[in-house]
Amino acid sequence: AQSVTQLDSQVPVFEEAPVELRCNYSSSVSVYLFWYVQYPNQGLQLLLKYLSGSTLVESINGFEAEFNKSQTSFHLRKPSVHISDTAEYFCAVTRTSGTYKYIFGTGTRLKVLA
């Protein structure tokens, strides 16, 4: 079975400061990894994903995440955050084959302060 841990439930950070949102996963089989973002009163939107290839993946709005197989991590980073990045961020995993199951972490609420 797979599991996802997001240790930080809330992360406050000042505007233009860097941020890292941590995600660790556990799985006995190969997985694909995702970050989704949820803005207030909206559904989730895909931010970025790792399927294969380069372990560093980037989004169009400046976020990046690095897949680290040895540490079973997929941390999300941004070098300079904006007020509009205030949202809840969810890490998720799914197996690369076999029975479908999409497992979400408990989420990290990022609050960007002026």
Partner 1 sequence: NAGVTQTPKFQVLKTGQSMTLQCAQDMNHNSMYWYRQDPGMGLRLIYYSASEGTTDKGEVPNGYNVSRLNKREFSLRLESAAPSQTSVYFCASSVAVLSYEQYFGPGTRLTVT
> Counting contacts by CB under 8 A, is residue 104 touching partner 1?
yes
A 10 A CB-CB count for 7 gives 11
Q: Which is nearer to partner 1, 43 or 114 (CB)?
A: 43
Three-state DSSP at 99 gives coil
> What binding mask, one character per residue, do residues 49-88 give for partner 1 by CB under 8 A, x or -?
x-x-------------------------------------
CA distances in angstroms from 64 to 33, 41, 61, 92, 97, listed in the order given: 13, 24, 9, 15, 25
End-to-end CA distance of the chain: 41
Please state the φ and ψ torsions of residue 83, each to the nearest 5 degrees. Answer: -50, -40
Q: Which is nearer to partner 1, 45 or 80 (CB)?
A: 45
> Counting contacts by CB under 8 A, is residue 90 touching partner 1?
yes
Chain residues 9-28 in contact with partner 1, contact rule CB under 8 A: 9
Q: Which is nearer to partner 1, 82 or 101 (CB)?
A: 101
